[in-house]
Structure 1
Amino acid sequence: MSAHESEWTLRRLSAGELAAAEAARVQAHATSCTVCGPALRELQQEQARFETAVPFERFEAGVERAVQRQRRSESFRAPPRRWVATTVAMAASVLVVLLVRPLLGDVGRETGTNRIKGGAVAELRIGGGLGPQREARPDAPEALEPGERVMLGYQADGHRYVAAVSVDAIGEVTPLHPESGTSPAVESGTDMHWLPDSWELTGSGAERVVLVLLDAPLPVDTLVDAAKRAFQAANGDVEHMAPLDVPGEQTHWVLLKP
């Protein structure tokens, strides 16, 4: 009997990301497999439920409101940041957020979700471009298409605070959440929670995104300084930086900008 397909492969099939030959092979397996078939159908049903709950008109309205707010704010400030943050409405409108649960149990599981020590989870989703939404994997660089945005989520599992930064190929560190001050408290409950903004990376080259779950508040400046030190220790190679020298549990993703 052939091995089951991983959840990651089934998600890519559902999103139309597999090459034709690979898609045909996986689809054929899922058609006859009592484990992979139901898992694939559940992924497809989740997508359908999302599209029903968030119709195109809501997407369009959310994007237009975010663009108008961005234009108004830009008229009163310096040139825009490399990351263009929007509100929750924009984030919800550009990223199809699927439920995160093990559809296949532990059989061949391979996913972009990072399960941290003790059961905490960190996830980065990409969407808003011409292609379907997808997860970025923490163990391999992920190429971005023009216009795509990213969104960060977590399950804290006992951790009390959360923060996130990015580091680009020239070592510029951008605090993402929060932009200043001290790391905010996590949201309550055991569900997957999403940071209130989505971001679009501008420029080109590699960019490293780091999400940290903490047990005590951490000043953003401390996190930024740690990211700068890690970049310098890697001799300016953002793709091969070591974990940041801060407390807590952290997850890194490397994104390749077009």
Structure 2
Amino acid sequence: MSAHLSEHPSKWTLSRLHAGELPTDEATRARTHAADCEQCGAVLREAQEAQSQFEAEIPFERFEEGVNRAEEKARKLERARGSSQRWMGPVVALAATVLLVVAARPLLATNTGTGVRTKGGAVAELRIGGGEGSQRVARTDAPEPLAHGERVRLGYTPETRGFVLALSVDTAGEVTPLYPEAGESLPVEPGPGMHWLPDSIEFTGSGTERVVVLLSDEPVKVEEAIAAAHQAFELGGRDVTQLPPLAVDGDQTHWMLLKP
């Protein structure tokens, strides 16, 4: 059966198609439609051209420096208001498989038990760069290979969510809190657009590392998120590639990174 759509896919769907975020069947239908539809094809070409221009004009190191400058400006503004706590990026713990290399794009799943992202929820992105190749947005529907020297940056658009937390799980089931290291979820930064968590991370060792970003309405304690990740690891048969959504309320984004 040929995969055609009776209606034009939304711009949101086409954006997810470009980012590699659609399930295989839905991606096939949308891609087939766009191939025969000038209107939808133009949306895809625009997204591809924008990505190519971004990578050509802003290499990963400059992108990272710009984010750091924006964060430093925000920290200074917050200190001027008498509260630096909100903007101070936490130090990521050093672990056997995780190495912080600088001081200090979604399967987004709203936890309804289905593992399916609800339309209009918060969005997270994982960007890879710093190696010999150009920077790219990590896919969520397939493992993303990492080359030696490549680092990752995590970003999010909060929509109506108020708090953000990130962690990773390796093939042995070891859970490493990334942002923050301890305590509870960080308050999201106000304002529209993509916000970037501080610092870039290089994953060392070999095997698969699953990265999870959780955006929630209420703060989540790091210990509870770690416990939920351990529970999910067991439910997945101790196979990190089969990890189900964490039993924590909120929008979740999962990526699988293949370490060299």
* TM-score greater than 0.5 by the shorter chain: yes
- The 1:169–1:150 alpha-carbon spacing in structure 2 relative to 1, beyond 3 Å, is same
Please give the alpha-carbon distance, in whole angstroms, between the structure 2 residues aligned to 1:218 and 1:256.
Answer: 28
Alignment correspondent of 1:193: 195
Question: CA offset at residue 8 of structure 1?
Answer: 7.3
Give the TM-score normalised by the residue count of structure 2.
Answer: 0.64
Q: 2: distance between equivalents of 1:142 and 1:243?
A: 19
Compute the RMSD of aligned alpha carbons.
3.7
| Alpha-carbon distance in structure 1 between the residues aligned to 2:156 and 2:252 | 11
Query: Which residue of the partner structure matches residue 87 of structure 2?
Result: none
> In the alignment, which residue of structure 2 is the partner of 1:128?
130
Q: Which moved more, 1:207-216 or 1:126-135?
A: 126-135
Return the offset for 1:227: 0.6
Partners in 1 of 2:48 and 2:255 — Cα distance? Answer: 24
* Residue 211 (structure 2) aligned to one of 209, 221, 239: 209
Offset from partner CA, 1:141-193 (integer Å, 9 cap, x none): 11111111111111111110000100000011000111111111001112111
2:99 aligns with one of 84, 94, 104:
84
2:108, 2:251 within 8 Å by CA — same for their partners in 1?
no
Q: Which amino acid aligns with 2:45?
A: L
Secondary structure in 1 matching 2:186: coil
**TM-aligned CA distance change 1:38 to 1:171, over 3 Å:** closer
Q: Residue 237 and residue 11 in structure 1: after superposition, are their counterparts in 2 closer, same or farther (change >3 A)?
A: closer
The equivalent of 1:233 in structure 2 is 235
Pair 1:51–1:188, CA change in 2 (3 A): same
CA contact (8 A) 2:213 2:254 kept: yes
- 2:167 counterpart residue number: 165
Deviation at 1:40, TM superposition (A): 3.5
Distance 2:121 2:152 in 1: 23
Aligned position for 2:45: 40
Find the counterpart in structure 2 of residue 107 from structure 1. Answer: none
CA contact (8 A) 1:227 1:244 kept: yes
| Change in CA separation of 1:132 and 1:9 when aligned onto 2, cut-off 3 Å | farther
State how far apart, in whole Å, the 2-side matches of 1:79 and 1:120 are. Answer: 28
Residues 235/147 of structure 1: CA separation in 2 closer, same or farther (3 Å cut): same
1:146-185 aligned at under 5 Å gives the runs 146-185=148-187
Structure 1 residue 195 displacement after superposition = 1.0
Cα deviations by residue, 1:209-256 (Å, 9 ceiling, x for unpaired): 111011111111111111111112222100001111112121111111
Q: Is the 8 A contact 2:169 2:229 kept in 1?
A: yes
Shift of 1:43: 4.3
Whether the 8 Å contact between 2:59 and 2:134 is mirrored in structure 1 is no
Percent pairwise identity: 45
Shift in alpha-carbon separation, 1:222–1:47, aligned structure 2, 3 A: same
**Could you say if the C-alpha distance between residues 11 and 157 of structure 1 is closer, same or farther in structure 2, counting changes exceeding 3 Å?**
closer
Runs of 5+ unmatched residues, structure 1:
13-28, 63-77, 91-96, 98-111
Cα distance in 2 for partners of 1:79, 1:119 equals 32
The aligned counterpart of 1:20 is: none
Query: For the structure 1 residues 44 and 226, does the alpha-carbon distance in structure 2 shift closer, same or farther, using more than 3 Å as the test?
Result: same
* Structure-to-structure mapping, 1:89-100, within 5 angstroms: none
1:208, CA displacement in angstroms? Answer: 0.8
Q: Note if 1:222 corresponds to 2:200.
A: no
Do the aligned partners of 1:113 and 1:122 also contact (CA within 8 Å) in 2?
A: no
SS at match of 2:142: coil
